Structures are given as C-alpha cells and as structure tokens.
Amino acid sequence: MMRKEPTVAKVEIYTTSYCPFCIRAKNLLKGKGIAFDEIDVTDDDAMREKMVELSGGRRTVPEIFINGKIVGGYDELSALDARGELDAMLAHPA
C-alpha cells in the first residue's frame, strides 16, 4: 500500500510565550483549520539564533514559514490572507 503524501503545506511558527502577535497568528491558522508546528523560543537562545538565521536576520516573533519559506510575521500572514493568497500557499504540500 502506497503512503499518501500530505496534501497541505508544512507550517512552522516561531513564538514566545508573551507575544500577542504570536497568539493572533496561531488563531488565524487555527481558524482556517491549518495544523502547524510551534517552536517556542522564549527561553531557548540557540533556537532563537536558528530562527534568525532561517529568517534572514529577522529577530522578532512570530516568524512564520510555509514549506520552509519565510512568510514573515503576523502582519504579513494577515495581509496574505486578506489578499486571498494564503489559502493557495497552504494548499500545496512541501
């Protein structure tokens, strides 16, 4: 029996426990029924450095990646959604 590949994008979101924009981003994704991997960098300097490296130098949270590509933070995620572009990005597997 062949294993089916996922039919949705891989979403990762780097967060901290005290970030209101992280909560908004997670709620936007949850509202769309999109599963995501949350990486909490609150007390993890090594993981935060990895986030900065992956995001091209961005130090703020959230940092959101879809299929390994940086989307940005909550404002960028929300703008993609408002333009109707987010659903198309989320529909394509990595």
Q: What is the 3-state secondary structure (H, E, C) of 3-50?
A: CCCCCCCCEEEEECCCCHHHHHHHHHHHHCCCCCEEEECCCCHHHHHH
What is the reported pTM?
Answer: 0.88
Task: Domain ranges for the chain, please list them.
Answer: 13-83
pLDDT digits (tens, 9 = 90+) for 2-50: 555 556 799 999 999 999 999 999 999 999 999 999 999 999 999 999 9
pLDDT digits (tens, 9 = 90+) for 41-71: 999 999 999 999 999 999 999 999 999 999 9
| H-run or E-run covering 51 | helix 45-54
Q: Which CATH superfamily is 13-83 part of? A: Glutaredoxin (3.40.30.10)
